[in-house]
Amino acid sequence: MSEESRFRRIRSFVRREGRLTTSQKAALDSLWPSFGLDLGTDALDFDKIFGRSVPRILEIGYGMGASLTTMAAASPGNDYIGIEVHRPGVGALLKSVQQQGLSNVRTFNADAIEVLENCIPVNSLDGLYLFFPDPWHKKRHHKRRIVQHAFLATLAGKLKTGGVLHMATDWEDYARQMMEVGSASSAFINQVGEGQFSPRPDYRPLTKFEQRGRRLGHGVWDLLFKRL
C-alpha cells in the first residue's frame, strides 16, 4: 500500500459536533444556496463562481469561521474558500458572512482531502491556510495528524508558483513535525529561512483562543512555505 493510499484511509478528524443552534440552522438553510459549495467529482471554475479573477485563498478547518470572515472583510480584493467538516461551524460562518455583508466567501462542508482531490483545480490558489489543526497530542494518534508528506504533495499541486502555504499550531511537537515535513518537500521553500518559524503575519487574525493561550504562557508557531 502506498503512503498516499494509506494516508487517505486515516481520518484526521472525528465528527463530534454539537447540536446546531437555531440561528446556525437558519443560516445553513437560507444561505447555503448562495455561499455553499457541494462536493463533486469535477474541478470547480472559481472565476465563474465568484464572477471575477482575483487572488484566491483556501482555509482548511476554519472552526467557527472567525478568522476566515475577518480576513475576507479586511481584504475584499481576495476571494476566500473555506473547508469545514462540522456543520455548526459552517452555520456560524454563514451567519457571519450575512451579518458582515461579505460576497467574497464560499464554503464546503466536507472532508478536506476529498475536496482537494476532487474539487480544487491545479495551480489555482494563491494561498493555503491551515490554522490550529487538531494536534492529536497522544503519540499513538500522531498518524492522524493532517500534516503528512502525502498531504503536502496534494497541497503543492493546488498552489500557483509563488503561492504560500501558511500553517500555525500551539503544539510545539506538532510545529516541529510541520517544519520537518515542509522542509523535506522539494515543492516548497521556507519563506523566512531553512528551519525557521515566522512571526505571525498581520493578515492572520489573533484569535480569542490564542490570546488566552498567550496569557497562560503557551507558544504559537507560524510556518510559511512558498511554492517553488
Give the active site residues: 134
Which candidate, 74, 190, 182, 59, places its Cα nearest to that of 130?
A: 59
User: CA 69, CA 44: separation in Å to the nearest integer?
Assistant: 22
CA dihedral 74, 123, 224, 128 (to 10 degrees): 50
CB 227 within 8 A of CB 162: yes
User: CA 30, CA 39: separation in Å to the nearest integer?
Assistant: 19
105-108 and 188-190 strand pairing: unpaired
User: CA 28, CA 165: separation in Å to the nearest integer?
Assistant: 29
Widest CA span of the chain, in angstroms?
Answer: 48
Q: What are phi and psi of 17, to 5 degrees?
A: -70, 150
Which residues sit opposite 83 in a β-bridge?
Answer: 60, 108
Which candidate, 179, 203, 206, places its Cα nearest to that of 191?
A: 179
